[in-house]
Amino acid sequence: MNFSLYKNLKLYQKITVVIFAIVLLTALSLYFSSNYIFKQNFELSIKKRLSETLGVTHSMIEDYHNRARSALGIITLTPEFVNAVSSANVGYINEFLQVIQSNLLLSIIEVYSKTGELLTRIEAKNLQNEKYHTHPQSSILKDAFTKLKKSCDIEFHNGALQIKAVMPVVSQSTFESNGAVVITYPINHYFADLLRCITNTDVMIFNPKGELAASAVLNLEGQREFNKFEFENDGFVKQHHTLPDFIFDQRTMKLNEKYCVARFNNQSYALGFSALYKSDHSIAGIIACALPLEKLYEVQNQTADFLKLFLLIVVFITLIISYRLNRLITAPLSILTQKAQIVKSGQIDDFNIPVTSHDEIGILTDTFNQMTFSLKMTMSELTKTNLLLEQRLYEIKVLYDISQSINFISDTQELLSKIIQKTIEAVGAHHASIMLLNDATDELEVKVIQGIAPHKMGERKIDFENPSITGTLAGAKIKSNTGIAGAVFNSARPLIINDTENDTRFHKMPETNYNIDNMICVPLISNNKPYGVINVVNKNGGLKFGENDLHVITSIANQISLILEKVKLYEQSITDGMTKLFIHRYFQARLDEEIIRARRYQSTLSLIMLDVDHFKKFNDTYGHQMGDVVLIGVAGVVHDLIRKNIDIPARYGGEEFAVILPETDIEGAYRLAERIRLEISKKEFEHNGKVVNVTASLGIASYPLHATAKLDLIARADLALYKSKENGRNKVSIYEDQ
């Protein structure tokens, strides 16, 4: 094909030809495919409409189930009605049921005595049909009388579909059946008419034999029954009096087809089918929704014709508009082409084309104008990027140093102090601290603090057991909803405060005697829950904290959270969950270590074994729960009297405890054991408003006085314990060879 003619056209002419060709091809494609497209969309819309209608229909049937259950519940749980059934007071029953039946559309209410005698039947005039009456010997009535069984199900009985619900009338004094109440909703023509009014779609109901049981469609004679249906299947039209097997197989009771086209009443209908299931999941009937197709086909054809005409008009208008617009659009392109040649020669500084429009060509022109500026800014951006890269490299170095500290520092307090110092160095601050939540008091407490350069306080570790050596900030604490720290803790979001003086949230601790000008506060989070904060205070040189500082501190806060989480898991692994003392395995390991240390440095070591007196009898008398309270109390006494971070208390097993006393001779161990014994005997436990006391027996053995091996030391401390028990309990005994 020769394209020389096309090549010789001007740009606006080429664009016009291309646009017209595309529009023409698209219009022709739509023109010839419109019938197929409309047919597919038409079928999909019909199926969707039928599916929605069937859904509403099932909801209506379920609503009838619920109405029947609710009504039966109200009826059978009314004491006056129960007494009326028991005494066969038909007058009261009729008066009572008339009120109930007025709220139940298209329903029949039957009341039977416990002997199966029909006491009364309340039914609308248009429902006086024996098909819907309940037989006195039916299984549902027998189950209600003998098994007090209630039920609500769809039945096909006497050639009619019906929703039947039954509930026994139970005597509140003897819990025996006085009778039963049955509510029946006939699935008949009135039911189909009601569904048509709600769904605005014709409804047909077939029984399990495939026969038409109810219909909202009238035939030419104004009747609801049809002599035959013509169903389309595989391109063939077949006449049937009932639902054919390709739709509903009566032998297997299986619904094979959900949608089909049928002809009856001299009209074509689109039918959607859905099964009505009984409580045992068997099919009780089939619901069909019918849409007449003639009017729908007429609307479809009219719409398709309109679309075809519309496409022709669009093609013609497009040809005219594209020609005129292309003349206007392409005119500035020649100017842009000339200026682009200047850019090609390298004269970028002088490149400045006036922008005369805001369309794509105007945007293109403006883009060329900005090219020079963008190139000039590139070097500046590269410089900033290098600075940011250096900052990120420094952050990586800080995190690397912290990770190395984790590997080589075992003491948690020392490790946190090291991390805090690295934080101060990383962001150039005066000092920093870690505050953790005390669940018991709902307060944030200072656990570690570093820096405080203006006052030359140096490194400080907060020791709550020895507050006299921790300086002015020992035990500093605030409520978890107070100050900047409280705001960060509760929101779990970090804050940068560069002007604390004008921030209403700022709360200065009374323990501090220095000014806080600015600060960063970042939450410490574990399992998506905050448990503390890290505070970094006063940027060096009077500068302000920025986002880079926040990024560094947030990364370090994640490391701190990881460390504290590991510490928590380790403490849980070596601590008894109930008494909070060390577990037996940890006790054995630490006793080995302390004996080795005592042997190496030629020091003494004592071991106390403690047993609660008559604990088994106490458990039998007051219960195991009270026994646990006693064990927790005894453990608390031991924990309060020993030396913190020196002595090692453990739950040895059951009600027996042990305390390792490093560098303690037998006299010191005896004094501590006596204090423990005395405090346990004085401790009061409340049970059912009364005060209960317990006592304990203790035994002591010392290294190397009594034994040099671990097992011997434990055995001899245990022998001393039994000596205390033999001598009347509530005593402290020291091991003796005899």
DSSP letter for each residue of 620-685: HHH-HHHHHHHHHHHHHHHHHHSPTTTSEEEEEETTEEEEEEET--HHHHHHHHHHHHHHHHH--E
DSSP 582: B
**CATH 3.30.450.20 intervals, the chain:** 59-183
DSSP assignment, residue 433? E
Q: Give pLDDT, residue 15.
A: 72
> Per DSSP, what are the bridge partners of residue 579?
none
Listed in sequence order, the DSSP H helices in 1-10 are 4-7
- The whole-number pLDDT of residue 608 equals 95
β pairing state of 696-703 and 732-734 = parallel
Q: How far apart are CA 128 and CA 118, in angstroms?
A: 16
What would the two tokens of residue 562 be? 């990881």
Peptide bond into 467 cis (omega under 30): no
In the block, which residue shows the tokens 């005066």? Answer: 430
Q: Which two tokens stand for residue 374?
A: 């963008």
Please list the alpha-helical segments (H only) found in 103-206. 139-146, 189-199
CA–CA dist 202, 190 (Å, integer):
12
List the one residue out of 721, 700, 612 whose CA is nearest residue 656: 612
Q: By the 8 A CB rule, do 420 and 432 touch?
A: yes
Report the C-alpha gap between 485 and 491 in whole angstroms. Answer: 10
pLDDT in tens, 204-224: 888 888 888 888 887 767 677
Closest residue by Cα to residue 206 from 138, 290, 95: 290
Highest mean pLDDT among 32-46, 315-329, 643-657: 643-657
In DSSP terms, 169 is beta-bridged to 179
Q: How many CA atoms lie within 13 A of 442 on its CB side?
A: 5
Q: Pick the closest to residue 339 from 366, 377, 378, 375 (CA basis).
A: 366
Task: Measure Cα distances from 289 to 195, 217, 221, 694 in Å.
Answer: 10, 10, 21, 81
Instruction: Quote the pTM value.
Output: 0.40
Tokens 């109390």, residue located: 633
Residue type, 487: A
The 10s digit of each residue's pLDDT in 467-511 is 332 344 546 778 878 888 888 888 888 988 888 778 878 877 666
**pLDDT recorded at residue 49:** 83
- Which of 162, 107, 138 has its CA nearest to residue 284? 162
Encoding tokens for residue 444?
Answer: 């944030």
Average pLDDT, the chain: 79
Q: Of the candidates 94, 66, 80, which has an alpha carbon nearest to the alpha carbon of residue 178?
A: 80
Q: What is the model's pLDDT at position 713? A: 94
Mean of the pLDDT values across residues 28-35? Answer: 65
Reported as a single tens digit per residue, the pLDDT across 256-282 is 888 888 887 777 888 888 888 888 888
Among 3.30.2180.10, 3.40.640.10, 3.40.50.11540, 3.30.70.270, name the CATH number for the domain at 575-734: 3.30.70.270
CA 481 to CA 237: how far, in whole Å? 80
CA 545 to CA 500: how far, in whole Å?
12
Beta strand ranges found along 48-150 (DSSP E)? 108-113, 118-123
47/699 Cα distance (integer angstroms): 88
Residue listed under structure tokens 């309940």: 134
In the 8-state DSSP scheme, what is residue 217? -
Residues of the chain with CATH 3.30.450.40: 409-567
Indicate the angle between helix axes 79-86 and 11-76, nearest 10 degrees: 50
Fold of 191-297: Beta-Lactamase (3.30.450)
Query: Which CATH superfamily, name and number, covers 59-183?
Result: PAS domain (3.30.450.20)
Contacts of 599 (CB under 8 A, 6+ apart): 704, 708
The single-letter DSSP state of residue 172 is: T
Q: What is the pLDDT of residue 408?
A: 54
Listed in order, the ranges of the chain carrying CATH 3.30.70.270 are 575-734
Q: How far apart are CA 622 and CA 521, in angstroms?
A: 51
pLDDT number for residue 459: 38
- CB within 8 A of 164, min separation 6: which ones? 134, 140, 152, 153, 154, 155, 157, 182, 183, 184, 185
Query: What is the pLDDT at residue 507?
Result: 75
Query: Across the strands, what pairs with 289?
Result: 203, 272
> What pLDDT is stored for residue 605 in this prediction?
95
409-567: CATH topology is Beta-Lactamase (3.30.450)
More confident call, 400 vs 696: 696
Report the interhelical angle of 412-427 vs 547-574 (nearest 10°): 180
